[in-house]
Structure 1
Amino acid sequence: MSTALTFTTSRRPDGAVVLTATGEVDMSNAGAFATALAGARQTAADTPFVVDLTAVEYLDSAGLSVLFPHVEHLHLIANPLLAPVLTIAGLDDVTTISE
């Protein structure tokens, strides 16, 4: 059974693509997360895109692993509870994370 996770894609006024995830990211839905990230990256073309994780309540190692292939092209926005997980995983060394 897959854990609840939804995505929306939008554009900011500056034109940046924003992928917003809501729910929990785990092994059961990491593939859907990877597909959503790839789609956002393709939509953004050669420009960076934003991944808004402020409404993500849980992110396991499977979810973290699908972020790494995109680190050169993304900016992460995380809630205060998730930001330390991203930092411990080392994502702050390879991409921008803001709260």
Structure 2
Amino acid sequence: MSTPLTVTLHHRDDGTPVVAVSGEIDMSNAATFRGALDRAAEEASSDGDRLVVDLTEVEYLDSAGLTALFGHAERLDVLAPPLLDSVLTVSGLADLARVRIG
């Protein structure tokens, strides 16, 4: 059974793709999350535009979700709740991507 997850893709006024996620990201739904990240990355221009991932409504993130994020780490601006601060830091993602906790 898949863990509840909602993923939406929209764009900021400047065209930057934003993947907004709510729920829990784990191995049961990481493919859905990864697919959304891949689609958003394709929509960003090839000249290195940033990709925003809004995790502020995520309650849980496991290694499968982290793996999806690492696939695009060099382009990511991650917005995350304090709950995810330690996992993003300990995993090393915060060293590769722009991470804002708030």
State the number of aligned residues: 99
Deviation at 1:10, TM superposition (A): 1.2
1:10 equivalent in structure 2 = 10
Q: Distance in 2 between matches of 1:29 and 1:45?
A: 27
How do residues 75-94 of structure 1 correspond to structure 2 at under 5 angstroms?
A: 75-94=77-96
Secondary structure of 1:38's counterpart equals: helix
**TM-score, L = length of structure 1:** 0.94
Q: Distance in 2 between matches of 1:57 and 1:40?
A: 22
* Letter aligned with residue 5 of structure 2: L
| Alignment pair present for 1:61 and 2:31 | no
Secondary structure of 1:22's counterpart equals: strand
Aligned-residue sequence identity (percent) comes to 52
Q: Distance in 1 between matches of 2:29 and 2:71?
A: 17
C-alpha distance after superposition, 1:30-71 (max 9, x if no partner): 111110110111111331110000000000111111111101
Q: Distance in 1 between matches of 2:14 and 2:81?
A: 22
Q: Distance in 2 between matches of 1:15 and 1:66?
A: 22
Secondary structure of 1:57's counterpart equals: strand
2:36 equivalent in structure 1 = 36
Secondary structure of 1:52's counterpart equals: strand
Q: Which runs of 5+ in 2 are unaligned?
A: none
- Structure 1 segments (4+ residues) deviating >6 Å: none
RMSD between aligned alpha carbons? 1.0
**TM-score, L = length of structure 2:** 0.91
Q: Distance in 1 between matches of 2:78 and 2:61?
A: 13
* Letter aligned with residue 41 of structure 2: R
Q: Distance in 1 between matches of 2:44 and 2:54?
A: 15
